[in-house]
A and B are shown apart, each in its own frame.
Chain A
Amino acid sequence: MAAAFEGKQVYSDDVQVGMDIPPVVKGPMTQAHIMRWSASQENWHRIHYDHPFALDHEKLPDVVINGSWKQQVMCQLIKDWVGLGGWLWKISFQHRAMNVPGDTLTAWGRVTDKYVQEGLGIIELEVGMRNQNDVEACPGKATAVLPIRGGRPVPYPFVPPQGERSTPGLR
């Protein structure tokens, strides 16, 4: 089982601006999935499980999937792509749309820039999460760090490079 994660390191050399990274798909989501996350967080906000409250009191279309859950999936998207030798450095996104039971959610990322800093490949991505109707819920950005073939390993704990970018847009 573990072997599936090994020997698949992506290197900065393999990355091109404009390329899509492998998506992470979750769902179809149900009320039970939402409840499971809410319970793990001890988040008793009724919009996540109390149907009459969500509809009648809060005027929502249904109980809603937690923004905090979506945040975890967005992190998984980058973590899985950079692998054990890379690093998810920064991530930010907005909560633009609500998601509800029945949604299948696809976290996606596209490379918008890449450069080298202190011997590390810095990859900028546009990220988001779409439902089965292509409605974007979480538009945002991420910065990933990848090793360069034959270069130094990405440090762990991660130490952000301080120096100037080199070869912007290249490599």
Chain B
Amino acid sequence: MTDKTYVTPQMKAAIGAESDAWESTMEATWSEHRRFIQAIMDEDPIYYDEEYAKRTRYGGIVCAPLFPSSVNRRPMGTPDPLTEGFRNNPEYDARGGGAEGGGQGGLPRLDLSHIPRMLNGGNEIEIFQYMKLGEKTITKTRIADIFQREGRAGRMVFIVSETEVRNDKGELLMISRGTAIRR
């Protein structure tokens, strides 16, 4: 297995591929954001005090830096993942049972059956602007890079994806770069 290349031609061809842009199912609402900032225990007045926030360069209340990731919720009229999950498997872990996935449309489906094990290789977030109440997000994911490295546990494949989040005016809010390690 020493000289084996794990990056298949299909994987190589996928570098640079971009998903369709997808709009969040929800807009940023005050009460969702209130629950968010109360749960992170950061009651910064830029999050709730309009008078105060108006005097800052934000020009009004803004949402917490990573709140844009919280506006994708299961839309009405879609199957309930909890009911379905437990019906199929009483040991269902309910992971991902509330958030709406999405975002993979338009990206090639990679065959990774030869490297089935996955590790989270970390995530970098770059922030440009805070979301405002009433806005939705427009998200696009790009396969930024796929490469292999020799590690202590053998050969590993790194899949780097870049997710760009804009508001519904097209203004860039954040970019997150995640690395999945497969072997």
Interface residues in chain A, defined as those with a beta carbon under 8 Å from any beta carbon in chain B = 1-2, 5, 26, 33, 36-37, 39-47, 53, 57-58, 68-69, 71-73, 75-76, 79-80, 84-85, 87-95, 153, 156-160
- Distance from A114 Cβ to chain B, minimum over Cβ atoms (Å): 19
**B 126-137 to A, binary, CB cutoff 8 A, 1 in contact else 0:** 111100000000
Instruction: Report the separation of the CA atoms of residues A156 and B59 in the bound assembly, to the nearest whole angstrom.
Output: 10
One of B40, B45, B98, B129 near A42 (C-beta < 8 A):
B98
B57 contacts A156, C-beta separation under 8 Å: yes
Pairs A–B under 8 Å by Cβ, sample size 17: A1-B45, A2-B52, A33-B39, A40-B32, A43-B98, A43-B99, A44-B82, A44-B98, A46-B94, A80-B44, A85-B57, A90-B127, A153-B57, A156-B129, A157-B171, A158-B129, A160-B128
Overall SS of chain A's interface: mixed
- Distance from A76 Cβ to chain B, minimum over Cβ atoms (Å): 5
B96 — which chain A residues lie within 8 A by C-beta?
Answer: 45
B128 contacts A157, C-beta separation under 8 Å: yes
B40 contacts A69, C-beta separation under 8 Å: yes
A158 contacts B39, C-beta separation under 8 Å: no
B95 contacts A42, C-beta separation under 8 Å: no
Closest chain A residue, CB of each to CB of B93: A46
B127 contacts A158, C-beta separation under 8 Å: yes
- CB of B153 within 8 Å of the partner chain: no
B98 contacts A72, C-beta separation under 8 Å: no
Instruction: Report the separation of the CA atoms of residues A39 and B56 in the bound assembly, to the nearest whole angstrom.
Output: 31
Q: A90-B124, A158-B129 are in contact. Are A75 and B65 (CB under 8 A)?
A: yes
B42 contacts A41, C-beta separation under 8 Å: no
A42 — which chain B residues lie within 8 A by C-beta?
Answer: 73-74, 97-99
B39 contacts A36, C-beta separation under 8 Å: yes
A91 — which chain B residues lie within 8 A by C-beta?
Answer: 124-125, 127
Instruction: Report the separation of the CA atoms of residues A42 and B32 in the bound assembly, to the nearest whole angstrom.
Output: 11
Closest chain A residue, CB of each to CB of B98: A42
B99 contacts A73, C-beta separation under 8 Å: no
B58 — which chain A residues lie within 8 A by C-beta?
Answer: 156
A160 — which chain B residues lie within 8 A by C-beta?
Answer: 126, 128
